[in-house]
Every structure is written in C-alpha cells, then in structure tokens.
Structure 1
Amino acid sequence: MSELPTSGDRPEEEAAVQDAEFAPEPVLPEPVRQRVTVLAAAALPSLPADEMPVQMRRVARFAPNRRARLGGREIAAQLAADPLFRQRISGRVVTDAGDLGSAIVAGVAPGAADPVEVAALAYLARPDGWRDLIEEAGHAVQAEADSAAVANQLRDAEQRAARAEHDRAVAKVEADKLRDELARVREELGQVREEARANGKALREAQAAQKRASDLLATEKGRAARIAADHDAEVRRLKTRLAEAEALAATGKAAAKEARAADDARLWLLIETIGQAASGLRRELALNPSDKMPADFVADAVADRPGSPERSRARAQDTDDPGRLDQLLALPRAHLIVDGYNVTKRGFAEMSLEQQRKRLITGLGGIAAQTGDEVTVVFDGAERVHGLPPAPRGVRVLFSRKGDTADELIRQLVRGEPAGRPIVVISSDREVADGVRRHGAYPMGADSLLRRLSRS
C-alpha cells in the first residue's frame, strides 16, 4: 500500500473494493472525521484527472488553505460512497505519512502516535483490524474529552473557591464597616439624647417665660383699659370744643359772604366793561366765529375720536394726501414702514410680482436718499424669492417667515419702536391701520405713497 497502484493493478483494486462494499461505514468521531477530510483534501490535487471523480474536480481547484473547509462535506461523502476513490487517496496519504503510514498498513498502531492520526490513516488505508483502530481512537478521543471536561470542572471549582474566598474577604470588610457604622450610630444616638435633654430643659424654661409674659399681658391690658377710658373722656371734651369752633366758623362764613357779595358786584362791573370793549374790537376787526377749538385740530392730526363720522371721513382723506406724508417724513428720526404688496397691487397690478417689488424698492430708495429717514418695506414670504437684487442704501427689505403674514410683521416692527418716535405706516388695509394706530404710529394710505413716488 506504500506504492501508488498502476493501471494494470486496477482489476485487483476493484475486487478489493467490491469486497469492502458489503460492510457498513463506521461512525467516525468528529476529530477523526475532520482529520480524514484534511488528509484527503491535501492529497486530492495529486490524483490524475482520469482517476478523479467529476464531483471532486471542482473541489480540487480550491486553494489549499480553503479546500478542506469549503469542500469538506463533498470529500467526506465521496470517500464514504466511492471505495475506489478512497483507495486511491489512501495510497497517496499513506505514502506522505512515511513510517506511520507503513505501520498502519501493516495493522500496527505505534503507542506514541496520535490516536486521531492513526484512526484517520486506518479509515483511508483500511488494513486488517482498521475498525478496531477507529474504535480505539474514538475511546481515546472520548477519554481526552472526559479528561478535558474534568480539567474544566476542576478549573471551575478552583475559580468558585477563589470567588468564595474573595466574597468572604469582602464580607469581612463589610462586617468591619458595619461594626464601625454601628459604633458611630451609637455615638450619634448619645448626642441626640443629650440634645433632647437640653431641649426639654429649654422647653420648660420657655413655658415659664410664657406664663410670666401672660401675667404681664394681663397687667398691660388693665392699664390699656384705663388709658382708653381717659382717651374717651378727652374725645368728648374735644368734640365740645369742635362744636364751639363750628359755630364761630358759621358766623365767619356769613360775614365773608356779605363781603364777597360786594366784591362780586365790583368784579361784575369790571367784566361787563371789558366785554363791551371786546365786542367793539371784534366788530372793528371783522372776526368770524370758529366752529373748531385748538384741541380739535390736534385731534384731527394725531388722534381718534369715536362717534364723529364727519371727522373720520376727513381723516381718511388726509391719509391719502402726499403732502401730509411729506409733513410726517419731515419729523426728526421718522421711520417709514411700507406694506409692500398692498402698495404694488394698487399701483402696479399689471406687472409681475418681481417687477412690482423692484419698482417699489427703487422708489423707496429715492425717498430715503431725499429725507434721510429709515425706510422698511415688508412683503409676504409665503413664496420663496430667489435672485432679489440688493436693496438701495437706507432701505430695509423684509419677508415674513412661513406661517406669518406681512401684517403681523408690520405690527411687530411698530411695537418694537420706542414711545415717542414718529412711525409712518403705509397700508390701505384697515385692520393694519387700526392696529398700528393703537401703538402710536401714523397710518397713511397706499395712494399717498404712490402719488409721492409719481412726483419723484
């Protein structure tokens, strides 16, 4: 078996194979099965192509370090099912094993040899008594497994003993700590008892002091009652004196009334003389009577008065007057806030939104340059605006954020200004005008700005 069989020996090989097919395959221990697979995988490429089964040709092409792992299942199945293939593989494996292979072929198992290696070679070469060799290897492997299990159990027992010793040491340390803590608690308990005795003594002293205070309070209450009686007597005496003083005052009022009647007569004579002189002067200057007082002019300019529809219509007309807008912009440190689309859709509705914004911002730049005032224009930001040209100097361009409107942003700008600063809001939206007016701003209609821009 140490020499490779030639093609002339194949009938003898096939006869031996046929004799072996009648015996069932033994169950190999797992280490023996893995070693058989490794030996067969290493010898597989040395077989000629005509002696290699078709199923093994693909496995033979695997890399040596991957052949046993990837093709082990196919190799084991082929060895069990194809005695001729197994005999060819065994010839090369036995040759590679050297003296150990020759001893196995002779049916002798060296005592110093690895039982797994002996069983693997015996399975492939199948000398006389090969099943006994495999069985002995299985017993040896099982003995090693049992020995390893006993060693593992011994290690686990040692580890548990070490852990138990460690736990005992930890428990001893914890017990020492608990004894120290108990001593400390006892010491604190003694201190608490001392404090309780001191507090009891202080409580008794406080109760005695309270009793003394109660006695003193009763004494003071008697004294206060006497003082209150004296006070009531003094009040009655003062009331008597007050009645006498009131009688004297009534007498004085009567005398003063008589004196004032004379003074009133003299004053009436003087006023009548002045009135006649004023009437003559009015006729001489030809002055017509006025239906408005100075406060009416102030109210018409900067305030609201409910219940006056005529003045409301006049004020509405004033909000579209560009001259009124010029007067407001002439105020020092004025701030002009413009409702952008409210103005552009009234004046440039035929243009696109981009052209409307550009034209309005350009016109506001001229106003800012002429007046030096702060100018802010606000647009609704529901749609995102791309490619907006830079704003002129002195003009701030704002877009409301998503979920907000330009009207709300205008009201926030007005509320953010300090009280007393002139703020002019351009919008024909009545709700916006009323809202900013309540916060001290001057609302003007969109037409006032459009007329002002048309003059520029």
Structure 2
Amino acid sequence: MSSAGEGLSRPLPEQVRLHVVDLAAQVLGSMPQSAIPAPLRGIAKFDPRKRAKLGGTPIAAQLENDKKFREMVAETLAAGWPELVESLAEGNVPPAAEPVMVAAAAYLTRPPGWPEMVEAARADLERSAAAAQGSAHEQAVVRLREQLAAQKTAAKEEADRLREQLKAARAENADLRRKLHDARERVKTAEAAAAAMTVAAEEARAALASAGSAAETELRRTKERLADVERQLEAARRAAREGRSVEDARVRVLLDALQDAAAGLRRELALPSTISRPADSVTAVSPDRPGVRAVPARALADDDPALLDQLIALPQVHLIVDGYNVTKTGYGTLTLADQRNRLMTGLAGLVAQTRIEVTCVFDGAELNGPVQVAAPRGVRVMFSAPGQIADDLIRQLVRAEPAGRAIAVVSSDREVAESVRRMGARPVPSALLLRRLGRA
C-alpha cells in the first residue's frame, strides 16, 4: 500500500497487499457495470489474468478510500472463509491460520482490534522472514527487495496502462487519418466536377451568344430584304395606278372581248359550270377526326364598318375565316359545337346573299374527339392537321391562290393579319364579320 490504512501505523505487508488486490480484482470482474467505481471501470474491461497485475495500484487505492467497494470484497471473502471471518469478528485469531489470510481478512472486514491483528500478522511474517534469512541484515535486504519489487510492480503496472492508452490513441489516430484521406478525395472529386461544370457552362454561354448573334444577323437581313420587296411592290402599284387612266378604255374593250371569247369557248368545249378552286388542293383534317392542342388566338378590336362590305363587292373574292377567332370574339360563352353551328348559319346567309367563295378554318388542336360539322352549301370547312395550327393553314390557303386574286382573311390575330398582308391578302378584324352577320 502506498499509504497507511485507517488505524495502521505502517503500510500493509506486500504479501497481504497482493492477496487483497487479487481478491478485489476477482470481485471487480463479477460486479455489474453500474456498481463498479468510476476509477476502476476501465480496469474492469481488462483480461481477468491481467486485471490485478495492471490495475493493482488503483485497486489498492480504491479499497483504501471506498468503504462500499471494500465491503463488497469483504462479503466475497466471508463467503469463501466463513470460519476465519467469524473468529476474527469474535476477536480470536485461529492459531493455524496463515498470517497473510488473517491480515487480509482483518483489513477487509475491519473487526474490533483489526490493526493489532494486521500488525500481529506482520510480526509473524517478519519472524518467518527473519528465521528464513537468519540475520537482521538479510531481513533488511528482504525489505528492500520487497520495496523494490513493489516499486517495480507499480512502475510496470503504470507502463502497461500507458501502453494500452498509447495503443488506443494510435488506433484512433489511424482512423482519423483514414477519414481525413477520404474527405480529401471527396473534396478533390467535387472540385473536379465543379471545374467541369464551369467549363461546360462557359461553352454553353459562348454557343448561345454565337447563336443569338447569328440569329439577329439573319433576322436583320430578312427584314431588309422584306423592306426592299415592299418598296418595289409599292413602286409597281403606284406606276400601275398612274398609267391606268390612259389604258382604261383599251383594257375595258379587251376585257369585254375576253369575256365574250371565254363564254363562247366554254359553250363550244361544253365545260362544266363549276370548277375546282385552289383552296380545294390544300390538305386539312376532316372534321370527324380529333386533332392536337394549340395556343388560342388573341383578339384585337377594329371599328371600320365599311371595310368588309368593300371587299365582298370585289369580283371573285375569296373570304377566309379564322373560325374560333370569330366565335370566341362574338359568343365565346357557348360550347365549341354551338359556336361552330352559329357561325355556319351566319356564313350560309352571307353566301346566299353575295355568292362569294368562303372557307372557314378551325384549329384542329381544339378537337378532343370526332366532330360532326354540317357545312352549308357554298361554305368550305377545314380543320388544321395534327402538329399544325389554324394560322398556318390560313397562310397555306393564301399562298395557294394565284397572284392578283382578291383575298380577305377574317382574324383579329395580329400575327395572322401581318403575315397575310405581306402575302397580298387583306386582313379583316373579326368584329366586322360579326357585325355583318348581325345585319343579315
């Protein structure tokens, strides 16, 4: 023991201390985790054969300072040596008992007069040692050896404990190094991916800028060519208007002659009274098959009431109607079927009054099932094909007509109006057709 026990003037003899520590180490291995004193919990995890050897000093100190732990070890001793413990409790030391066992039992159980029992055992041990050595000098040597052995044991125990701690620290350090390496690898991978994404983004920006510049350049060239064509057309029309007054008489004579010749030729060749129109060659979807969905037209207002009447009065005029643009402008609260029927009724009356050619175009994308449309006599009904909107079909119809024929396109869609105007047709707002149908 490193210090004297309560009531002891000197430390326990080394043999007694070793015996007590060994017994406490055995008890420590059988105790529940919650009952083990905090300073000894790490030692309790050691191998049973190394527990007393490596943790001797902490165990001895805990026995000296922790009464509860000492009593638990004493209970184990009492269970193994009941006669010895009972005799000591009564103040009797069995003559045949070993001094080491007597001193250990007295130290742990603490019966009345236990310090004297320990000292008596010490005296017995010293006498035995003196008898064995034969001289006081040899006894001193023995005591020095015992002290040296105790110090060596304590030093070895401390060294073993430090080795265990060093081993655990090295294992933890290796684990941290491995985690650090993995983290660095992940960072490198993420940095490489980020760099690749940055390069790709820069390339995409450069490509987009190049494409945008090329598109702007092409658009500017197209606009310039279109402006040149419009200027040339306007110049040609102005020149034609200026020369018309001189040639009116000749043209009228020639026109009458051509009409008479054409009528005679028609009678001579027995040509049919009705002929195929250019609009009949334009491909469209039959109204009894569904189409695809598209973007609805945008309605715009116009208040010129005389425009449509002047166009209808032109000879051989072809009136192309953007169906849903007209119906949604005039009666958009009705169902699509009712909108179509109401427009067909109005166009039938207009054809009966004027005898003009009328083509009504509906957006096939609005169809979600077979549609039955009763086209009135004289009104051509067409639906745009899948993947095509009504605006494109209207432009196709205008493009199919011969140059110089009068064409009126009824639509309030600004894009449709501007495109057909450039193609030579005259756009008419939907409101004017609705007003004309209302008068009828």
**Considering the TM-score relative to the shorter chain, is it more than 0.5?**
no
TM-score by length of 2: 0.31
TM-score by length of 1: 0.30
Where relative contact order (Cα < 8 A, 6+ residues apart) is larger, the structure is: 2
